[in-house]
């Protein structure tokens, strides 16, 4: 039954039931004179909350940090992690508060405030988030969901005139994030680094029982083994992470900060900081201005994900103690990722089935796009125009038009070998190659409007990004090449 008020939500506190060292119980630090800039009815529906509840004073009070979630047990979680490949030691929710877990009509969702004040894990931070980064996270999580990519969700965006010092003085905001779990790879590293196997086992058992109960089932024909569930957990996380990387690569998404504390144990896209959807394609594109060495460039994301999985596997070794079993699971990553990426490329290229000899066709397109700095999203989208006989739209994206035309001839010949009608192929390609993505300049325009108290651009973008492959007359500017000023936008870890 749909809940009409926050009081009617069925709130659980399973993470709060873990032993005390997993978190610190504390209240958020509310914003002064908070204003609800935007609320997301689609996310609200996931927890059974009616649209009418979103504009109430009670809703604003809870999601500005002024009041607890009714029935919730508010806390900040501890974890550790590797940041830019270097062990950073203890980290944790330095500006986030977990309000509770809601059992909704479509599963369980934890509600977390981000930007809600200092915690014991804030280190040198002030516990706040700024409007700029909060708008970007609010939009990005919904954009990724629209693309069918596993992600956290966003429920509400609350703003205030409270000053926050970054490179300049900005204003504060709180974004409410939703996820079935906010446990990270770094949550496991924390207890492994502290040499506390009992706490590590408690966490692993919690994650398995809460999110991966199938890992308790022994493989057919094999005897029960008390260590097998932990191997099975690593296998499932490896699979989900490999497929997530294929999803990111297929849409030109760069996370920007793939630290182990930003890697979800559920294989979700977690922690939207200096992310970016590529405009002009570069194989080694780096979206994070703070990443001076290019550790998290687009082409390195899959290998970094595997590196992070090795850190998770190393933590679980304390429970499993069978190096060969863990390594065998991690060795599955490359094959899973490659098959998943090829499947996405197959659909994007309009092929009926992937063949090994299609690899040069894909590689040559990426090289051509890289050499010409061709727009990533439009290069893929306009392939369907070429299939319909309108080659110019695709070729116009390339400085070397003859090379683009020659490659296109190869694609069309390959498609013809499948024997499908071109109109059918083009329609299928349009269903998987998005027209609208959250480009940096579109997010920036929404941020500037939000600074004026105008959420209209957020509304427009959410409408387009929820169905990113569907062309909408009148919204051509949102699918156009970026303006020249977009190249000056820099995103970093400063948010």
Quote the Cα angle for 166-172-175, to 5°: 115
CB 375 within 8 Å of CB 279: yes
73 is catalytic: no
Burial of 295 (0-12, 13-18, 19+ CB in 10 A): middle
Nearest to 286 by CA among 263, 257, 309, 264: 257
Among the listed residues 344, 316, 320, the one whose alpha carbon sits nearest the alpha carbon of residue 252: 344
85 Cα distance to chain centroid: 20
CB 276 within 8 A of CB 251: no
- Which residue, 134, 185, 178, 129, is CA-closest to 152? 178
- Contact indicator for 277, 251 with CB cutoff of 8 Å: yes
Which one-letter DSSP state was computed for residue 51? G
- Name the active-site residue from 73, 93, 211, 261: 261
DSSP 8-state code for residue 382: T
Distances (CA, A) of 143 to 213, 368, 492: 29, 27, 20
Q: What is the DSSP string of 86-145?
A: EEEEE---SSEEEEEEEEETTEEEEEEEES----TT-TT--S-EEHHHHHHHHHHHHHHH
Q: Is residue 127 within 8 Å of 116, Cβ to Cβ?
A: yes
CB neighbour list of residue 18: distance below 8 Å, 6 or more residues apart: 202, 203, 206
Start-to-end Cα distance in the chain: 39
Contact 350, 232 (CB under 8 A): no
Q: Residue 286 and residue 425: Cα distance in Å, rounded?
A: 33
User: What CA dihedral angle connects 245, 249, 251 and 257, to 10 degrees?
Assistant: 70
Cα–Cα distances in angstroms (integers) from residue 280 to residues 299, 366, 387, 438, 439, in the given order = 14, 12, 23, 14, 11
> In sequence order, what are the beta bridge partners of 100?
111
Eight-class DSSP state of 463: H
**Do 134 and 114 meet the contact criterion of CB atoms below 8 Å apart?**
yes
Give the residue numbers marked as catalytic: 261
């Amino acid at each position: 039954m749909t809940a009409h008020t926050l009081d009617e939500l069925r709130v659980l506190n399973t993470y709060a039931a873990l032993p005390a060292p997993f978190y610190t119980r504390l209240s958020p630090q509310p914003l002064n004179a908070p204003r609800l800039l935007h609320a997301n009815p689609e996310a609200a529906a996931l927890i059974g909350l009616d649209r009418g509840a979103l504009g109430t004073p009670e809703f604003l009070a809870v999601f500005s940090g002024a009041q607890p979630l009714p029935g919730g047990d508010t806390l900040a979680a501890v974890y550790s992690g590797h940041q830019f490949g270097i062990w950073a030691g203890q980290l944790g929710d330095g500006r986030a508060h977990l309000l509770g877990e809601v059992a909704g009509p479509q599963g369980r969702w934890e509600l977390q405030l981000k930007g809600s004040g200092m915690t014991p894990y804030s280190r040198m931070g002030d516990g706040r988030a700024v409007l700029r980064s909060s708008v970007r996270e609010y939009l990005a999580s919904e954009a990724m969901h629209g693309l069918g990519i596993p992600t956290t969700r966003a429920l509400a965006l609350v703003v205030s005139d409270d000053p926050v010092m970054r490179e300049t003085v900005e204003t504060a905001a709180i974004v409410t994030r939703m996820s079935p779990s906010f446990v990270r790879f770094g949550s496991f590293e924390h207890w492994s680094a502290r040499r506390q196997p009992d706490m590590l086992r408690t966490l692993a058992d919690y994650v398995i029982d809460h999110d991966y109960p199938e890992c308790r089932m022994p493989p057919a024909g094999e005897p029960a083994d008390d260590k097998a569930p932990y191997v099975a957990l690593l296998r499932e996380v490896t699979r989900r992470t490999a497929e997530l990387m294929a999803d990111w690569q297929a849409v030109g998404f760069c996370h920007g900060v793939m630290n182990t504390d930003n890697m979800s144990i559920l294989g979700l896209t977690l922690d939207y900081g200096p992310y970016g959807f590529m405009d002009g394609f570069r194989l080694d594109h780096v979206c994070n201005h703070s990443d001076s060495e290019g550790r998290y460039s687009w082409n390195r994301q899959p290998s970094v994900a595997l590196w992070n999985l090795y850190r998770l596997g190393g933590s679980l070794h304390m429970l499993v103690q069978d190096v060969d079993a863990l390594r065998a699971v991690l060795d599955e990553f490359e094959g899973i990722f490659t098959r998943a990426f090829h499947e996405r490329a197959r659909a994007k290229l309009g092929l009926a089935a992937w063949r090994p000899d299609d690899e040069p066709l894909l590689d040559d397109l990426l090289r051509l796009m890289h050499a010409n700095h061709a727009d990533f999203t439009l290069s893929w989208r306009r392939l369907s125009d070429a299939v319909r006989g309108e080659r110019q739209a695709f070729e116009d994206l390339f400085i070397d038009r003859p090379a683009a035309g020659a490659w296109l001839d190869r694609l069309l010949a390959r498609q013809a070998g499948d024997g499908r009608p071109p109109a059918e192929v083009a329609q299928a390609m349009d269903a998987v190659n998005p027209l609208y993505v959250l480009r940096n300049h579109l997010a920036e325009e929404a941020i500037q409007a939000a600074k004026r108290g105008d959420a209209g651009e957020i509304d427009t973008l959410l409408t387009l990004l929820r169905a990113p492959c569907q062309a909408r007359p009148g919204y051509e500017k949102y699918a156009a090449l970026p303006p020249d000023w977009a190249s000056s936008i820099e995103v970093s870890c400063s948010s």
